[in-house]
Amino acid sequence: MSQFTHFDDAGASRMVDVGAKPVTRRQARASGLVRMAPATLRAICDRETAKGDVREVARLAGIMAAKRTGDLIPLCHPLALDSVRLELTPQGNDGLLIEATAEITAKTGVEMEALTAVSVAALTVYDMCKSMDRGMTIERIQLESKSGGASGDFARSGEPSQKSE
């Protein structure tokens, strides 16, 4: 079981010791897509939902969630993030693409923070619009890219993989 970094040789859970790792600049970008009825997307874009500006509330929820990732994900290090940015962009007539970028200068990466930001922003969109459209789906939450750290850089081919052609 020792090949898994979150378990010791006896199989007990543990937080990875990052004490000896060098401090480097790290960035991660994640994305996800909320599919909905065209009328729901129009209401979001026109800021005509009963609960207010869906994109701005979801953006704030995503930023707040990224800052709390260490409280939500077991064994995830709590991090003092340098920056978190979210973009919510209409895709076609039935999708809202959510992209989050998290940055830090630290001993550990920010992939989980970017993924958490996207996830909570998507859930916020659903929560704010469920009275209009219970058929919404949250799709393809994924890491798009990361840089920094010992494992090197990663970029999903065809970035960003979910944008319309």
- Per-residue DSSP letters for 35-77? E--HHHHHHHHTT-STT--HHHHHHHHHHHHHHTHHHHSTTPP
Contact of 154 with 110, CB cutoff 8 Å:
no
Radius of gyration (C-alpha) of the chain in whole angstroms: 17
CA–CA gap between residue 152 and residue 79 (Å, rounded): 20
**Of 82, 127, 133, 153, which is the active-site residue?**
127
Does residue 127 carry a catalytic annotation?
A: yes
Positions marked active-site: 127
